[in-house]
Amino acid sequence: MFPRPIDQTSPLTQRLYTIALPIALILWLLPLLGVAVTSVRPASDLAQGNYFGMPSYIAFENYISVFRDSDLGRYMVNSLKVTIPTVIGAVVLSCMTGFALGIYKFRSNLLVFFLFVAGNFVPFQILMVPVRDLTLDLGMYNSWTGLAMFHIAFQTGFCTLFMRNFIKALPFELIEAARVEGVSEIRIFWYIVLPLMKPAIAALSVLIFTFIWNDFFWATVLTTTKETQPITAGLSSLNGQWVAAWHLVSAGSILAALPPVLMFFLMQKHFIAGLTLGAVK
Amino acid sequence: MSSYWKRNQLRIAPWLFLAPGAAMFLVYVIIPIFQSLSISFYDWDGLGEAVYIGTENYVELIDDDAFYTSLKNNVIWLLLYLLAVPLGLFLAIFLNQTVRGIRIYKSLFFFPFVVSQVVVGLMFSWFYAPNFGLLYKLIELVTGNGIAILAEEDYVTYGIIVAGLWPQIAYVMILYITGLNNIAPDQVEAARLDGAKGLKMLWYVILPQLRPATFIAVVVTVIGALRSFDLVSIMTDGGPYGSSRVLSFYMYEQALSEYGFRMGYGAAIAVVLFAIMMVFISGFIWKMWRDETER
Amino acid sequence: MTHLKTGALAFAAALLMSGSAFAQTRALSYNADFDPTPLAAFQALIADFEAENPDIKVTLNNFDHEGYKTAIRNFLTADSPDLANWYAGNRMAPFVNSGQFLDVSDVWTDNGLGDQLASAKASMTIDGKQWGVPYTYYQWGIYYNKDVYKAAGVEVPTTWDGFIENCAKFQAAGIDCLTTGSKALWPIAGIFDYLNMRTNGYEFHMDLTAGKVAWTDDKVKATFAEWAKVVPYTTENHAAIDWQDAAALLVQGKAANYVMGNFAVATFKEGGMTNDSLGFMVFPEITAGLPRAEEAPTDTIHIPAGAKNVDDAKKFLAFVARADVQTKLNAALGQLPTNKGATVDAADPFISAGFESLSGAYALAQFFDRDAPAEMAKAGMEGFQEFMVKPDRLDAILERLEKARGNIYK
């Protein structure tokens, strides 16, 4: 194990470590803590210049007013409308592409695979103008469908990389045995491979959910009105309305961050498994 | 028909499975790259007819101060963003212990990565805000005169990069924690018996084993640095007077913002960004190709 | 645009279901970008219009103000309404030149608007034709904190030299003589426009924004020389704050003067200022004897080229241009009517001051970012901001703007 486990070191080092740990954490999360405290600070505190002291009382009303007086709730619903279909679409498509590239040996296999991988790293800006035009032509501009369609297509790149590597690590003998039995390829996919892919599907779902929920660029390019804008773009325009109202900006930020954070804490194992795929051989 | 399927299904099946995903990817990712290339030779405001102007957009780009500012900032981003790799490793080593509650600590340290960059940008804007921001106050306390980081051309890019490093370090950290957990304990013990410890141990024994994690960390960090759009847009909108622009933001500004609808010029900027990215992408693909064919 | 389509669908369905009762009703769709107060004012206006024209039903699709600026490019080409909001001056030129707006000169001649809307006619005219109808404008000028003036023992200046002299006194009292927030760039374009129009006159402003004079011209340098006098007295962190943050400085008495548009009055008053503590003055004279020009950004309504119901759309424009309609609308907006036959609320000192300032003006400019093409506006405003932070770079900035001029006006 590296570094040397702390319980094998001198008592002084152990003591120092247990003190250093929480201090490091507080320093690390300082921006977050500041915003969290500000989000429950009453507006009157800010007006009086009380930015850092104890809030004079805990103002949950900031959260209520963010929900009641702004479109934040609607933005969050819009985000869900984009995120959930994207997760489903990208996972379904990549189960199939991953299966095709992970199981079959054909000449252009690696070429197709690397096309997916390379496309996944492309800068968004090179896609921006054509994708916007395409979405306009399809009549999906400024709607959740247009945004979700693009996200599904783009995320298929990353998901294919992920699924293909996962499937490649499955025991191939299972499939060969089935083929000998005369099971059709579609049944092999459905009854043999798919059940084994459950952990990969879970990992990808949480990852994609977080990526799409947090997407800002495409939200600004493909949506314009509050009826369709996801929370990231919405928060950015609310920030324009809430100038100098940091208690509202903070409360809005915390709410916008909540769903992916919950997702992370509930599905931590899958989340990290997905994120670190390839980090170990 | 069915006998044809039976005979050839091994050949046809992969293409059937590939078709929907590949078609979507082709339409939304691969083809648009070439469309952008073509648009970059036109003058087009998105309203009227596009006019073919050859390489004029690129000629203008070569003489555009804002382009060089963006390019310079991109280089700064790339270099400083890579600090996330050693810093993430440091944090991973710091946290790779088995004391009580360490799991919670790891989760909380990882936390910034889960949060949207929009939220990160707002948090740091507040942190830097003149007159009442935490950092502004701290600087004021020490030097007697606060600095509005986001309004100073000399500091603004660094200020945004620090905000970007925060989640990126968390990401790299989690990669390395996973890597450290998978290090062969016998090799570490053997090296320890040979008297290796500290930095020497890290350099000669641990890092070589962490190579896959380092590779991924560098890949995601480079891509992240070149994609830096969200934070610039949220924190400064490219300002003050354009000094925090990066290529990805400048492209958007020229092609789709309130003060610019030059699709062709924007596309030309995107092509340059794409060319830069291609250098790295080719590198990654080449390495992956080697790994794949070696197996 | 889906909500537009669903709206149209729902409307079509309503038509079908209700049968002949609505068969005579003609639909008029209107895309707009109103904030809450103007939205309410316009809903009232539409109700009045429908009362006068029971056979017309107006459907208002309201957009977010910022999003509208990009959305309009899409709906004009893809899914055109019958009416659309926009702005006068060069800001409408791209849409006029690409044939996206309809020529509405006949609405002007048929209703005698050339005379009634005389002050706004020039800014609505391209190639000798009118391309829309203005419904409101508002004055710019200097808003100041009367209490701060009193505390510093300073008189309201009538000339620019007097203004600068006051600044030294404000500085001694630890007060910013002039405040602004340039994070979004446009607030400082107002300062530049006024300095330029007071130094060189209205025609020079129009020539400069039309790309007819060089940015390296001595007259431009003269404008910046005047600006340089006030830079040391301007709020230091202006580049880091928004205009509302700077408004708070004026409210709190940390700043004395603010070059702003009349819409800011609501923000000042929300912050606690009253007619007793908030003052308005016309931007003071610099070059003696120059005819006084003012900034008066005008908001307008246009008929897109793809409109389906052009006849009723023209009827709507004529309605909006009418004196009585503009009187009522602008009372609700808290702004100034463009029809000279309309009246304003005399009890509001800022409205009446604005009315007086604009009706006595030699000429009206739209605003730097509406008179100049978008790209020049952006480059120019960035140059202004850089100048305010680093005044010694003026020559390099002007060289850059001159280069941009060469690229933009072709």
Distance CA B177, CA A94 (A): 28
Q: What is the pLDDT of residue B106?
A: 92
**pLDDT tens digits, residue range A73-117?**
999 999 999 999 999 999 999 999 999 999 999 889 999 999 999
The three-point CA angle C232-C236-C240 to 5° equals: 145
Asked if residue A43 belongs to a domain, the reply is: no
Asked if residue A77 belongs to a domain, the reply is: yes
Q: How sure is the predictor about B288, in pLDDT bands with cuts at 50, 70 and 90?
A: confident
- Averaged pLDDT, C346-374: 90
Q: 9-38 in A: which are within 8 Å (CB) of B?
A: 17-18, 21, 24-25, 28-32, 34-35, 38
Q: Are A71 and A234 in contact (CB under 8 A)?
A: yes
Q: Which amino acid is at A85?
A: P
Asked if residue A10 belongs to a domain, the reply is: no
Q: Are B29 and A127 in contact (CB under 8 A)?
A: yes
**C264 neighbourhood in chain A, CB within 8 Å:** none
Q: What is the pLDDT of residue A43?
A: 82
Q: How sure is the predictor about C90, in pLDDT bands with cuts at 50, 70 and 90?
A: confident
Please indicate whether, in this complex, the C-beta atoms of A243 and C245 are within 8 angstroms of each other.
yes
Q: How sure is the predictor about B100, in pLDDT bands with cuts at 50, 70 and 90?
A: confident
Neighbours of chain C (3+ CB pairs under 8 A): A, B
Distant-in-sequence, close-in-space partners of B86: CB < 8 Å, separation ≥ 6: none
Residue C257, H or E segment: strand C255-261
- Averaged pLDDT, C248-274: 92
**Same domain assignment for residues B22 and B114:** no
In order of their start, the domains of chain C are 2-136+300-351 (3.40.190.10), 140-295+373-408 (3.40.190.10)
Asked if residue A257 belongs to a domain, the reply is: yes
* Helix boundaries (H) for C262-373: 264-270, 310-321, 323-333, 349-359, 368-371
Asked if residue A200 belongs to a domain, the reply is: yes
**C78 neighbourhood in chain A, CB within 8 Å:** 136, 139, 141
- Averaged pLDDT, B62-82: 95
Domain of A174 in residue numbering reads as 73-275
**pLDDT tens digits, residue range C129-188?**
999 999 999 999 999 999 999 999 999 999 999 999 999 999 999 999 999 999 989 999
Asked if residue B16 belongs to a domain, the reply is: yes
We report the CATH number of the domain holding residue B123 as: 1.10.3720.10
Q: Are A254 and A36 in contact (CB under 8 A)?
A: yes
**B242 neighbourhood in chain C, CB within 8 Å:** 382
**pLDDT tens digits, residue range B200-246?**
888 888 999 999 899 999 999 999 999 899 999 999 989 899 999 99
Asked if residue B146 belongs to a domain, the reply is: yes
Q: What is the pLDDT of residue C128?
A: 92
B235 DSSP 8-state letter: H
**Same domain assignment for residues B63 and B25:** no
We report the CATH number of the domain holding residue A85 as: 1.10.3720.10
Asked if residue A66 belongs to a domain, the reply is: no
Average pLDDT, chain B: 91
Domain count, chain A: 1
Distance CA A230, CA A222 (A): 10
Q: What is the pLDDT of residue C12?
A: 46
Q: What is the pLDDT of residue B246?
A: 96
pLDDT tens by residue, chain A, 281 residues: 778 888 888 889 889 999 999 999 999 998 898 889 889 988 887 777 777 777 888 888 899 988 888 889 999 999 999 999 999 999 999 999 999 999 999 889 999 999 999 998 999 999 999 999 999 889 898 899 999 999 999 999 999 999 999 999 899 998 999 999 989 899 999 999 999 999 999 999 999 999 999 999 999 999 887 888 999 999 988 887 787 788 899 999 999 999 999 999 898 888 888 888 766 65
| Identity of the residue in A35, A103, A160 whose CB atom sits nearest the CB atom of B123 | A35
Flag whether pLDDT at C266 surpasses 90. no
Distance CA C273, CA C266 (A): 9
Q: Could you give the ipTM of this predicted complex?
A: 0.92
- Averaged pLDDT, C307-322: 94
Percent of chain C with pLDDT over 90: 69
Q: What is the pLDDT of residue B132?
A: 80
Asked if residue A267 belongs to a domain, the reply is: yes
Strand partners, C153: none
Domain count, chain B: 2
Strand partners, C85: C301
Asked if residue A133 belongs to a domain, the reply is: yes
Closest CA to A142 of A211, A84, A220, A232: A220
Neighbours of chain A (3+ CB pairs under 8 A): B, C
Provide φ and ψ at B267, rounded to 5°: -60, -40
**Same domain assignment for residues B79 and B8:** no
**Same domain assignment for residues B122 and B2:** no
Flag whether pLDDT at C95 surpasses 60. yes
**Same domain assignment for residues B7 and B101:** no
Q: Is the peptide bond before C291 cis (omega within 30 degrees of 0)?
A: no
Asked if residue B34 belongs to a domain, the reply is: no
Helix axes B117-128, B134-143, angle to 10 degrees: 30
Please indicate whether, in this complex, the C-beta atoms of A244 and C242 are within 8 angstroms of each other.
yes
Structure-token match 């004391």, residue found: B99
Domain of B204 in residue numbering reads as 40-294
**Same domain assignment for residues B152 and B287:** yes
Q: A218: nearest CA in chain B?
A: B230
Please indicate whether, in this complex, the C-beta atoms of A280 and B213 are within 8 angstroms of each other.
yes
Average pLDDT, chain C: 89
| 3-state SS, one letter per residue, for A46-75 | HHCCCCCCCCCCCCCHHHHHHHHHCCHHHH
Residue B127 in tokens: 């942190």
Alpha carbon of residue C150 to chain centroid: 31
Distant-in-sequence, close-in-space partners of C250: CB < 8 Å, separation ≥ 6: C143, C144, C145, C179, C256, C257, C258, C268, C273
Q: Which amino acid is at B189?
A: E
